[in-house]
């Protein structure tokens, strides 16, 4: 599987997905996009812009190609939420001072705004440019004011606004989407067909909608390359599928028709309590595996494992 050409890889993933789908829906013929549920015929695989191998997690988190999704899902919602995640990642590293890249910002003083370019040096945040970013009279005016204030020994009160910050909630959708696709690659259609996952797909496909934030928990101390999938058994309130991608841990329902997981998690999410999870861990998938579809006894075993 390692050195397959791109088109051969797509074809292999298509066929495997088609077979997996037939295990749970024998009348189905084709590959079903795990995000929009549209079914694609084999001939469509060769057409441009129909099905593509998607990076999971997105490239900004160091992901690699893992599953086939349809072009519409991949490029429409996918690209825009992933771009917000990328901005979020850059923003976080700026806050942690572990980057040397410069960043646009806006300084406010007494109602006047100055556009600046900032960068961390060893000790502090440094303004590396403002002259080229403002009307000359604005820049000169503020320079004069600064000199005047210095002479008068007056302190500046500054308000700093960083530019190009991510859209609230979208990075979470991007991570949720990655976790969902990783779980799909691991467990297959049988897993995502659970009615409790309808709401998750709805959030992924409509990023403007408010996502229940208790599905994504931050893990600030985790390394960025951590990848794990755990069928969580204890504590009982967390019984779910937990997918960790670096500093994010995503919880998704599993074997659960009622789908009250996010209500159970609301309180722990709000209280930001660090919890020790225990359960059954699975190696991160490197290609689609669809374990539940192809191995019914394994599916039954996992079901039993969680329910008693």
The two tokens of residue 250 are: 């995503």
36 binds Zn ion (CB under 5 A): yes
Residue that has been written with the tokens 């009982």 in this structure: 236
User: Pattern of binders to Zn ion over 116-135, x per CB under 5 A?
Assistant: --------------------
Does residue 39 bind Zn ion (CB under 5 A)? no
Stretch of 32-40, 50-58, 85-93, 222-230 lying at the interface with Zn ion (CB under 5 A):
32-40
Cβ count within 10 A of residue 169? 17
Is residue 70 involved in binding Zn ion (CB under 5 A)? yes
Could you tell me the smallest distance in angstroms from the CB atom of residue 67 to Zn ion? 11
User: Quick one: 73 or 232, whose CB is closer to Zn ion?
Assistant: 73
Least separation in angstroms between CB 162 and Zn ion = 34
Question: Binding of Zn ion at residue 21 (CB under 5 A)?
Answer: no
Q: How many residues of this chain interact with Zn ion, rule: CB under 5 A?
A: 5
Integer Cα distance of 287 and 279 in angstroms: 23
Residue 13: both structure tokens together: 């993933």
Chain-centre distance of CA 193, in angstroms?
21
Cβ atoms 15, 8 nearer than 8 A: no
Q: Exposed, middle or buried, 193 (CB in 10 Å: 0-12/13-18/19+)? A: middle
Q: Which is nearer to Zn ion, 73 or 211 (CB)?
A: 73
Q: Name beta bridge partners: 112.
A: 109
**Residue choice 18, 21, 32, 33 for contact with Zn ion (CB under 5 A):** 33
**Burial class of residue 204, CB neighbours in 10 A (0-12, 13-18, 19+):** buried
Q: Which of 18, 20, 73, 261 binds Zn ion (CB under 5 A)?
A: 73
Taking CB under 5 A as the binding criterion, the range among 34-42, 174-182, 246-254, 283-291 that sits at the site for Zn ion is 34-42
Q: Give, as ranges, the residues between 186 and 205 that touch Zn ion (CB under 5 A).
A: none
Distances (CA, A) of 205 to 60, 210, 253: 20, 12, 17
Q: Cα separation of 42 and 111, whole Å?
A: 62
Report the nearest approach of Zn ion to the CB of residue 35 (Å): 4
Q: Which of 20, 21, 35, 107 binds Zn ion (CB under 5 A)?
A: 35
Q: Which residues bind Zn ion (CB under 5 A)?
A: 33, 35-36, 70, 73
């Amino acid at each position: 599987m390692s050195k397959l050409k791109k088109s051969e890889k797509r074809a292999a993933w298509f066929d495997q997905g088609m077979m997996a789908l037939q295990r749970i829906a024998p009348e189905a013929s084709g590959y079903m996009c795990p995000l929009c549920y549209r079914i694609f015929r084999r001939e469509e695989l060769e057409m441009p812009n129909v099905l593509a191998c998607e990076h999971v997690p997105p490239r900004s988190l160091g992901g690699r190609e893992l599953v086939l999704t349809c072009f519409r899902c991949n490029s429409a919602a996918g690209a825009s939420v992933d771009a917000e995640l990328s901005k979020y990642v850059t923003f976080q590293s700026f806050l942690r001072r572990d980057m040397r890249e410069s960043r646009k910002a806006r300084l406010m003083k007494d109602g006047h705004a100055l556009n600046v370019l900032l960068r961390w040096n060893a000790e502090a945040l440094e303004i590396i440019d403002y002259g080229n970013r403002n009307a000359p009279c604005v820049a000169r005016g503020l320079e004069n004011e600064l000199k005047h204030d210095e002479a008068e020994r007056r302190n500046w009160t500054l308000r700093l606004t960083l530019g190009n910050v991510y859209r609230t909630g979208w990075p979470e959708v991007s991570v949720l989407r990655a976790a969902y696709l990783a779980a799909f690659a691991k467990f297959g259609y049988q897993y995502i067909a659970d009615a409790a996952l309808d709401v998750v797909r709805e959030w992924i496909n409509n990023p403007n909608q408010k996502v229940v934030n208790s599905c994504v928990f931050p893990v600030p101390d985790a390394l960025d390359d951590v990848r794990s999938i755990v069928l969580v058994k204890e504590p009982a309130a967390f019984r779910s599928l937990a997918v960790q991608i670096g500093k994010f841990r995503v919880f998704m329902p599993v074997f659960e028709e009622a789908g009250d997981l996010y209500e159970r998690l609301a309180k722990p999410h709000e209280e930001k309590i660090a919890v020790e999870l225990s359960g059954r861990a699975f190696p991160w998938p490197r290609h689609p595996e669809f374990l539940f579809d192809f191995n019914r006894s394994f599916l039954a075993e996992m079901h039993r494992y969680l329910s008693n």
